[in-house]
């Protein structure tokens, strides 16, 4: 939903143990995260990591694909690198796309809906299907589909959870996406 999906193919070949796993396709138990116990991975990168994900990992909760992968990697001695969405105070991030109900003309033939490769548009954008490609924006002649850029403001609680995660053995907090390249 953040528009990064197409860039993942640059770092993931898609073959066995290189595929892109989607939580919505894994189910609650996320069985493929067990692969981290096999010893075939050198590291785990969680980017971006929401405040919710960081809070769960910092407090030992493993109830999603991402938090399960973090827990299993840590148990197996695999380094875990985490890039919080709130990594730096004052940085900007783009929100997922929405349909502005005031601008939407409810066209009989909705071109964005027709052109959406993920079929994520009905009366609203289904964020579980949307990969943030932005094709819908191009085809809406009324400019009713858009996202916003927000300046990040970290809550005190989020800062504490990031610090807590920093103190856990095996976890490294990244400050920027550019740091990911240095891991290779």
Same domain membership, residue 72 and residue 19: yes
> With b meaning 16 or more CB within 10 Å and e meaning fewer, what string describes 137-170?
eeebeeebbebeeeeeebeeebeebbeebeeeee
Same domain membership, residue 170 and residue 81: yes
CA distance 69 to 4: 20
CA distance 121 to 99: 9
- CA-nearest of 49, 147, 174, 149 to 93 is 149
Answer whether 0.85 is exceeded by the pTM: no
Predicted local distance difference test score (pLDDT) of residue 181: 85
Residues 78, 36 contacting (CB under 8 angstroms): yes
Query: For 32-65, what is each residue's pLDDT tens digit?
Result: 888 888 878 899 999 889 999 999 999 999 998 9
Query: For 2-40, what is each residue's pLDDT tens digit?
Result: 666 777 777 777 777 777 777 777 776 677 888 888 878
Token pair for 176: 């920027």
Predicted local distance difference test score (pLDDT) of residue 95: 85
Same domain membership, residue 110 and residue 41: no
Q: Name the residue range of residue 108's domain.
A: 96-147
36 or 70: which leads in pLDDT: 70
Same domain membership, residue 62 and residue 16: yes
Q: What CATH number should be reported for the domain holding residue 106?
A: 3.30.70.20
Residue 138 backbone dihedrals phi, psi, to 5 degrees: -60, -35
Same domain membership, residue 127 and residue 36: no
Same domain membership, residue 16 and residue 67: yes
Predicted local distance difference test score (pLDDT) of residue 182: 87
DSSP 97: P
Predicted local distance difference test score (pLDDT) of residue 155: 87
Tally of domains in the chain? 2
Tokens 């992968």: give the residue.
69
- CA-nearest of 164, 65, 66, 181 to 173 is 164
Same domain membership, residue 166 and residue 83: yes
């Amino acid at each position: 939903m953040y528009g990064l999906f197409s860039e993942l193919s640059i770092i993931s070949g898609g073959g066995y143990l290189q595929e892109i796993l989607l939580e919505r396709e894994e189910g609650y138990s996320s069985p493929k995260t067990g692969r981290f116990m096999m010893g075939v991975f050198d590291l785990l990168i969680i980017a971006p990591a929401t405040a919710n994900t960081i809070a769960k990992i910092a407090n030992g909760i493993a109830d999603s694909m991402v938090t399960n992968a973090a827990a299993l990697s840590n148990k197996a001695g695999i380094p875990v690198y985490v890039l919080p969405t709130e990594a730096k105070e004052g940085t900007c991030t783009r929100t997922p796309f929405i349909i502005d109900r005031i601008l939407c003309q409810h066209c009989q033939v909705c071109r964005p809906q027709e052109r959406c490769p993920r079929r994520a548009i009905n009366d609203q954008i289904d964020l579980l299907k949307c990969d943030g490609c932005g094709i819908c924006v191009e085809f809406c002649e009324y400019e009713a589909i858009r996202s916003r850029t927000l300046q990040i403001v970290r809550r005190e609680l989020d800062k504490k959870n990031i610090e807590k995660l920093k103190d856990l053995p095996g976890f490294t907090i990244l400050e920027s996406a550019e740091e990911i390249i240095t891991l290779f």
